[in-house]
Every structure is written in C-alpha cells, then in structure tokens.
Amino acid sequence: MYAQMRDAPPGSPMRPSVHAYTAAMRAASEGGQWVRALGVWEDMRRSGCQPTGKLDTHTHTHMCVRAGARTNTHTRARAL
C-alpha cells in the first residue's frame, strides 16, 4: 500500500501526506525495520513534504539511532 501511495502521480489524492509518511515510519520502526523507516523519511523529504515539528524530528532521530546511523543523527536533525 505504501509503495502505491508513494508512486502515485503528483496531484493524485493517493499521494501521501506528512501524516501518512509519519504513520509509515512509525509502523516500520515499531516493527524493528529501522532501515526501512529511514527510507520512508528520505521518500518524504524527496517528495517535498515537510516534517510538522518536534515529533517528526524526534521520530527521525530515534530511527537513526536505532538503525545505527549515530554519526549523522544530530546533524540530520539540525538540518530540519
């Protein structure tokens, strides 16, 4: 389902919102699929969706740490 939403053409009602991306990131991270969750984060950023605030930044930082990307976690969070 996520892939169908992500690949929907621009302007389609199927395109994910920041809330759909966040839900996908949380589902992946809670399932222990941290690398996949980071992939969703990158998809969101490439699509032009902007994080809504501290919650999304916290979610991203948590995913980076859990995925083992500790070296860039704070740098990436500050870039938001």
pLDDT tens-digit series, residues 29-38: 888 888 888 8
User: Which pTM does this prediction carry?
Assistant: 0.65
Query: What own/partner pairs with CB < 8 Å and gap ≥ 24 does 57-63 have?
Result: 59/22, 59/25, 59/26, 59/29, 60/25, 62/29, 63/25, 63/29, 63/34, 63/37, 63/38
Q: State the pLDDT at residue 28.
A: 87
Q: Give me the mean pLDDT over the 44-61 stretch.
A: 72
Q: Give me the mean pLDDT over the 35-59 stretch.
A: 78
Q: Give me the mean pLDDT over the 19-32 stretch.
A: 86
Every domain of the chain and the residues it spans:
2-7+15-79
Gyration radius of the chain over CA positions: 12
Give me the sign of the Cα torsion angle 64, 32, 30, 48: positive
Q: Give me the mean pLDDT over the 3-11 stretch.
A: 88
